[in-house]
A and B are shown apart, each in its own frame.
Chain A
Amino acid sequence: MALYPLPIAKYTVAALGVLFFLVLPLSLHEYYLSIANLVWISIIGALGLNILVGYTGQVSIGHGAFMSVGAYTAANFATRLDFPWPVNLLLGGLMAAAIGAIVGIPSLRIKGLYLAIATLAGQLIIEWTINHVTFISGGVQASIEVPRPQLGTVVLNTHREMYFFLLFFVVVAIVGTMNLMRSRVGRAFVAIRDQDIAAEIIGINIFRYKLLAFAISSFYAGVTGVLYTYYFGIANYEQFQIGVSIDYLAMIIIGGLGSVLGSIFGAAFVTLLPIGIRYGMEAVSGVLFSEATVHNLIPALRLTLFGALIIVFLVLEPEGLNRLWRNIRSYFRVWPFAY
């Protein structure tokens, strides 16, 4: 099936390409690029989680841990064996895929909430292991510094350089996911989600494909972890705790389950929302309260507002930002008529 059913989609993609590859990186301040970079990394993770949860219908609260598996695998290979980053990226992804497939084994027998708890156990076990096994975590601090990634002789130091580096992987992940979901393997995933009995009768080996979904999804998570590591220059398990697993679930639920575009929207939304809330509060700080009060309130209020906004969104549009976007699009397609 064609990726672009309408010619206008081609132009839109071309325009977005110019915007994100030329206009934004060459005009924005480093600080804004650093925010964009966080969005890029989270898009990859959200796509991966959506393959598992949205498309295959298997829950995971362990993706934060799978990211840490990728991160520490890459960091160890980078510091102990001096492997270059592309090799570490691949190894981090593969290691996460292997661990993810193991954590996914219970999915043959259990579904829904029960599977969620099983993967939660995976999260906690992996967290504990990395934190306590010094061979993996590299000592008491449980953090390993990695050298900056290098392209040829160019060392990627600035946010602007990292922007292009990360955006490349985002494009690969987006196109790859769309391809996967429109061909044989992706269809089998959706079949398992929609009707597992019928999936089996048409010849899909349910167990194999569930594990495959866990592995692919965890591969994305592993790559996300490696990219975080190279972006921050350090692998630290505190960046991959259970809160991260839940953030990523929030991304795909808010963005839209079983949708590539939804993963992108959700990742951007959840990453940008706290920053947006902070800006908003700083803007009103002098007006309503004293500046000092606001600074004390910000951390608590940020979480509260974040939670409240998510609830509002889910009530108004349970199918996520992707559905909202489609409604807007179909509204303007026939504008100024109602239909």
Chain B
Amino acid sequence: MSAILEIADVSRSFGGVQAVQKVSVDIPRGEIMSIIGPNGAGKTTVLNMISGFYHPDHGRILLEGTDITHLAPSEIAKLRVARTFQNIALFSGMTVLDNLMLGRHVLMKSGVLSSFIYWGLAQREEVAHRKRVEDLIDFLKIQDLRRRPTGSLAYGLRKRVELGRALALDPKILLLDEPMGGMNQEEKEDMARFILDVNEEWGTTIILIEHDMGVVMDISDRVAVLDMGLKIAEGKPDEVRVNPAVVKAYLGETKTSEVRHG
């Protein structure tokens, strides 16, 4: 399967800290790819470089063959790359509906004048895009929350709305930064189900950062492991699970156990 996103030999440092060093990952179209690793491994930095918040010091990032290494976040959004954040970044003063409509910002066109006049172009556009947003509201089962300001929602629901806002872009690639962080088991299962459904229903490529190994191993097609800014392993979940470098990165001392077993 061809790669939709190629991360080629990418490095990024902050001051003296090498956050990411020469990491190369190809993300195959239509797959769920997880990036895992201990705290400070550089996972979020990789995500930030894909979405344009940081630009790599070296290396290139290609989206369907086009170089997006130095594009601004808003330009990358136009190429239909959507993402969610580790600490939820919803527009808390606005309703769920407005948040989702904002997700479609780049797909809409009305300018100042047509918005000011509204009746005609802007209204037609609102109605057309509202349809898609309503589909997503049904998909995420948040019908009763439409008019609620997102600031007033419970944590798990806010995560779900944020996923909805990312989906509203009709993304080719969906970047999820710890979508299950801070959730209880039931919420995690719901979220895992949504992620799998998105992938199946719309064929969206998903790049996922997650700490819950159970979830990662269950839903990922492929897993890449970072440690101290280096990629130490990549492959199918089952291969990665038993990879000695990965075990070492997560548990630290492998030697003691080897010694103990003789």
Which positions in A face B, CB cutoff 8 Å? 1, 176, 179-180, 182-188, 190-191, 193-195, 197-206, 212, 216, 258
Chain A proximity of B148: nearest CB distance (Å): 15
List residues of chain B with CB within 8 A of the CB of A194.
90-94
Chain B proximity of A208: nearest CB distance (Å): 9
Chain B proximity of A196: nearest CB distance (Å): 9
Q: Which of B75-134 contact A (CB under 8 A)?
A: 77-78, 82-83, 85, 89-94, 97-98, 101-103, 105-106, 108-112, 115-118, 122, 125-126
Q: Are A193 and B93 in contact (CB under 8 A)?
A: yes
25 contacts between A and B (CB under 8 A): A1-B97, A179-B116, A179-B118, A179-B122, A180-B115, A183-B122, A184-B105, A184-B108, A184-B122, A185-B110, A185-B111, A187-B105, A194-B90, A197-B53, A197-B89, A198-B85, A198-B91, A200-B77, A201-B74, A202-B77, A202-B165, A203-B78, A204-B74, A204-B105, A205-B74
Q: Are B118 and A183 in contact (CB under 8 A)?
A: yes
Complex: how many Å from CA A212 to CA B111? 11
Q: CB < 8 Å: which of B102, B112, B118 contacts A202?
A: B102
Which positions in B face A, CB cutoff 8 Å? 51, 53, 72-74, 77-78, 82-83, 85, 89-94, 97-98, 101-103, 105-106, 108-112, 115-118, 122, 125-126, 165, 169
Q: Are A195 and B91 in contact (CB under 8 A)?
A: yes
List residues of chain A with CB within 8 A of the CB of B89.
195, 197-198, 201
List residues of chain A with CB within 8 A of the CB of B92.
194-195
Which partner residue on chain A sits nearest B110 by CB separation? Answer: A184
Chain A proximity of B72: nearest CB distance (Å): 8
Q: CB < 8 Å: which of A180, A188, A206 contacts B105?
A: A188
List residues of chain A with CB within 8 A of the CB of B108.
184
Which partner residue on chain B sits nearest A192 by CB separation? Answer: B91
List residues of chain A with CB within 8 A of the CB of B103.
202
List residues of chain B with CB within 8 A of the CB of A206.
74
Complex: how many Å from CA A201 to CA B50? 11
Q: Are A201 and B51 in contact (CB under 8 A)?
A: yes
A184-B110, A203-B78, A203-B169 given; 18 more Cβ-contact pairs under 8 Å: A1-B97, A176-B116, A187-B101, A187-B102, A187-B105, A188-B105, A190-B93, A191-B94, A191-B105, A194-B94, A195-B89, A199-B102, A200-B72, A200-B73, A203-B105, A204-B74, A204-B105, A216-B112
Which of A184, A186, A198, A204 has the most chain B CB atoms closer than 10 A to its own CB?
A: A184
Chain B proximity of A243: nearest CB distance (Å): 30
Q: Are A184 and B115 in contact (CB under 8 A)?
A: yes
* Contact status of A183 and B77, CB under 8 A, knowing A195-B90, A195-B91, A202-B106: no
Chain B proximity of A90: nearest CB distance (Å): 13
* Contact status of A202 and B105, CB under 8 A, knowing A184-B115, A185-B115, A186-B115: yes
Q: CB < 8 Å: which of B90, B112, B116, B117 contacts A198?
A: B90
Which of B77, B103, B105, B110 has the most chain A CB atoms closer than 10 A to its own CB?
A: B105
Q: Are A179 and B117 in contact (CB under 8 A)?
A: yes
* Contact status of A201 and B116, CB under 8 A, knowing A184-B110, A258-B93: no
Complex: how many Å from CA A201 to CA B126? 21
Chain A proximity of B97: nearest CB distance (Å): 8
Complex: how many Å from CA A176 to CA B110? 14
Q: Are B51 and A190 in contact (CB under 8 A)?
A: no
Complex: how many Å from CA A161 to CA B141? 55
List residues of chain B with CB within 8 A of the CB of A258.
93
Complex: how many Å from CA A259 to CA B116? 16
Q: Are B169 and A202 in contact (CB under 8 A)?
A: yes
List residues of chain A with CB within 8 A of the CB of B73.
200-201
Complex: how many Å from CA A200 to CA B51? 10
Chain A proximity of B226: nearest CB distance (Å): 22
Q: CB < 8 Å: which of B83, B101, B112, B122 contacts A201?
A: B83
Q: Are A212 and B112 in contact (CB under 8 A)?
A: yes
Which of A191, A201, A205 has the most chain B CB atoms closer than 10 A to its own CB?
A: A201
Which partner residue on chain A sits nearest B130 by CB separation? Answer: A1
Complex: how many Å from CA A206 to CA B105? 13
Which partner residue on chain A sits nearest B107 by CB separation? Answer: A203
List residues of chain A with CB within 8 A of the CB of B110.
183-185
Pick the 7 closest A-B CB pairs, nearest first: A203-B77, A203-B106, A179-B118, A198-B89, A194-B91, A183-B115, A200-B73
Which of B94, B110, B111, B116 has the most chain A CB atoms closer than 10 A to its own CB?
A: B116
List residues of chain A with CB within 8 A of the CB of B125.
183-184
Complex: how many Å from CA A1 to CA B129? 12
Q: Are B116 and A180 in contact (CB under 8 A)?
A: yes
Complex: how many Å from CA A229 to CA B105? 39
Q: CB < 8 Å: which of A187, A204, A212 contacts B94?
A: A187
List residues of chain B with CB within 8 A of the CB of A179.
115-118, 122
List residues of chain A with CB within 8 A of the CB of B122.
179, 183-184
Complex: how many Å from CA A206 to CA B93? 18
